[in-house]
Amino acid sequence: MIKFILDPKGGTPYYRQIIDQIRFGIASGNLSAGEQLPTVRSLAVELKVNLNTVAKAYKELEIQNILETYQGTGTFINKSEISISDKERMNKMQEICREFMTIAYTYGFTNDDIIQELQKPK
């Protein structure tokens, strides 16, 4: 199961962020076919968003045949294969880096500070 995180400053609508996180979760193997997702209500409460936001994301993924919802049982990852193009992956990486750099610069860190921190062993 993945931990959903929404970015209110990113400019991307919340429903789109949920869709992207599910798609990337499947493509990366963090979500697998047959795995049950949280209910619309529970995910909306967890993320502190309107029920319709989560319902819209789930519905769009159902239309794309990525999710299946069974009345009274729940919403599950479909057995479809999802691949994320290299271009889409790089666009996402650039978006993450831009956001990260903006925050780091706001706190006064330089490029050298950031590079040194990223190069430290984990």
Q: Both 90 and 60 in a single domain? A: no
What would the pLDDT profile of 6-46 be if each residue is shown by its tens digit? 988 878 899 999 999 999 899 888 899 899 999 999 999 99
Q: Both 73 and 44 in a single domain? A: yes
Range of the domain at 33: 14-77
What would the pLDDT profile of 68-113 be if each residue is shown by its tens digit? 999 889 999 997 667 778 898 898 889 889 888 988 999 999 999 9
Establish if 102 belongs to a structural domain. Answer: yes
Contacts of 88 by beta carbon, 8 Å cutoff, 6+ apart: none
Show the beta-strand stretches assigned E in 35-88.
36-37, 67-70, 74-77
- Distance in Å from the first CA to the final CA of the chain: 24
Measured distance CA(95)–CA(119) in Å, rounded: 20
